[in-house]
Amino acid sequence: MEGWRKGTRPDWVTPDGSLDPRKFPIDGVLRQALDEDAERFRGACSVLAMMAGHERREAGVFLLGLLSFNRDDLKRLAPVVRALGAFPTREAMDALTAELRRIPSTRSTRGYLNAVLEALTSLPDDLVCDRLAELFADKSFSIGWRRRFQGALERIEGYRAANDDYW
């Protein structure tokens, strides 16, 4: 790659010049994720999502911490929950579900809650199927939200056929 002297390319830059998320240094990204600037914060969340999606558990764990740290600021939480959709773990699923239960659905929170549901449904199907069924059955959610949970379940191939008695 041009721009690197022979033997000086960092190990986190691949021979074709792209970034290797498995080796990319995380320290600077973590500092950026604590920045008050919204653009820098969103950028850090995107990089953490990429890292978490490439088996960098520490990036996903940090995202879970950001969820708690920013719990009263829905604008900052939105990029965090979107990033958590790339961290395919039970902990991410639990955290996203907790957000659906914690935040009341109003006009001002609907966009955030949509992002939470989108992140939840981006997790692996085998991880979220039963959780979506629980949410669908939970009468504390409005009929509109329960229909959305049902729709998400129906999009998961084979779920409805295997659980006909549920419907």
Per-residue pLDDT tens listing for the chain (167 residues): 445 455 677 888 888 888 777 888 899 999 999 999 999 999 999 999 999 999 999 999 999 999 999 999 999 999 999 999 999 999 999 999 999 999 999 999 999 999 999 999 999 999 999 999 999 999 999 999 999 999 999 988 665 555 555 54
Residue 74 sits in the same domain as residue 154: no
Residues 12 and 91 in one domain: yes
Tell me, yes or no, whether 141 and 76 share the same domain: no
- Quote the crossing angle between the two packed helices 57-69 and 38-52, to the nearest 10°: 140
Q: Which domain, by its residues, includes 153?
A: 124-167
**Whether residue 118 is found in the same domain as residue 133:** no
- The whole-number pLDDT of residue 83 equals 98
SS3 state at 127: helix
Structure tokens given for 77: 């939480």
Residues 111 and 77 sit within 8 Å (Cβ to Cβ): no
At 13, phi and psi to the nearest 5? -105, 125
Residue 19, pLDDT score: 78
For residue 1, what pLDDT is reported? Answer: 41
**Inter-residue contact 45 to 81 (CB < 8 Å):** no
CB 52 within 8 A of CB 87: yes
pLDDT computed for residue 160 by the predictor: 54
Residue 159: predicted pLDDT: 57
Write down which residue in 105, 123, 141 finishes a domain: 123
Residues 97 and 84 in one domain: yes
13 three-state secondary structure: strand
In terms of domains, do 4 and 75 share one? Answer: yes
State the virtual CA torsion across 53, 34, 9, 50 in degrees, nearest 10: 10
CA dist 46 to 2, 29, 77, 79, 156, Å? 26, 10, 13, 8, 26
Residues in contact with 70: Cβ distance below 8 Å, sequence separation at least 6, in sequence order = 76, 77, 80
**Residue 46 tokens, joined:** 């995107």
Q: By three-state DSSP, how is residue 19 classified?
A: strand
pLDDT of residue 78: 97
150 and 104 assigned to the same domain: no
Q: What is the count of structural domains for the chain?
A: 2
Q: Which residues pair with 19 in a beta bridge?
A: 13
Are 7 and 67 members of one domain?
yes
pLDDT for the residue numbered 144:
96
Q: Residue 167: what pLDDT?
A: 47
Bridge partners of 13?
Answer: 19
Token couple for 17: 């010049």
Identify the three-state secondary structure at position 36.
coil
